[in-house]
Amino acid sequence: MVVENRVFRFEPARGERWLPHIGRSFSAALPEHSYPLRFSLVSVNDDEVAVEATLVDYEPDSAFASLLGEIELLDPRPKTHQASAFCAVQIVPTGVGCEFGGYAGDATPATNLLAATVDHLVTHPNAVNASELNELAPNVLYVEGKSLDDFLLGHLALLPVAANRIGTFVDLKGGYVYPEKVLASEKKPIRIFMIDRWNDNRDLNY
């Protein structure tokens, strides 16, 4: 399998809804045996729509071919259930060329401000994570981009949980020895420093 980023350019939707238009355009433009992990509209003008997508190119005899052949984007599901809680989704574009979001949790204040107006706010990690620091409001939930895409397309339901499992993927030669290297590394104490210096576990005075 090969993962690659590509930009697709389509004509704007004229007289029809955006999602079916993008889905139909994608269907015609996607290479054979490719699955879009994520997609986002990066620019729109009167003549052209640019959509950036991350694709997985797979072999037709792959064990995952049957799963990857079902593309959620091409089959958006209409809403059939209204939850009693009011939920909103916040997406902050992050990455190369973005001036806001993705650096030291700089979108956290805006995220928490928006969260104060709803029962649940769903966002993505790049908008709010700052290394080991996370100052999210209690009603903010975040999921990775693919799950967020599937949620908005109606193919995935989200439920708050008390805890999550964390996994690490190492795409390096010899990555199979990574767990042993972690276990063999020197144990170091975890230090916590609060921004206002209250309850600093090193008891430092400034």
Tell me the pLDDT tens digit for each residue of 10-65: 888 788 777 778 778 877 888 888 888 877 778 888 888 888 888 888 888 888 78
Q: Are residues 63 and 91 in the same domain?
A: no
| Spatial strand order in the sheet of 2-10 | 2-10, 49-57, 34-44
Q: Percent of the chain beyond pLDDT 90?
A: 2
> Which residue, of 152, 173, 198, is where some domain finishes?
152
Structure tokens at 186: 């020197």
> What is the C-alpha separation between 107 and 101, in angstroms, rounded?
5
Q: Are residues 102 and 40 in the same domain?
A: no
Q: Are residues 59 and 108 in the same domain?
A: no
Number of Cβ within a 10 Å radius of residue 21: 17
Q: Which amino acid is at 184?
A: A
Tell me the pLDDT tens digit for each residue of 154-199: 778 887 777 666 666 655 666 667 667 767 766 665 544 444 545 5
Q: Are residues 8 and 69 in the same domain?
A: yes
First to last CA, the chain: 53
Q: Which among 4-8, 72-76, 158-162, 201-205 has the top mean pLDDT?
A: 4-8
Q: Are residues 68 and 91 in the same domain?
A: no
Q: Alpha helix locations (H) across 51-196?
A: 65-68, 108-115, 125-128, 145-152, 178-184
Please provide the average confidence, as pLDDT, over all residues in the chain.
76
Q: Are residues 91 and 144 in the same domain?
A: yes
Q: Are residues 8 and 56 in the same domain?
A: yes
- Total tally of structural domains belonging to the chain: 2
Tell me the pLDDT tens digit for each residue of 107-150: 888 888 999 999 989 988 877 876 666 778 888 888 887 788 88
User: Can you give the residue range of the structural domain that contains 147?
Assistant: 87-152
Q: Are residues 57 and 105 in the same domain?
A: no
Q: Are residues 13 and 38 in the same domain?
A: yes
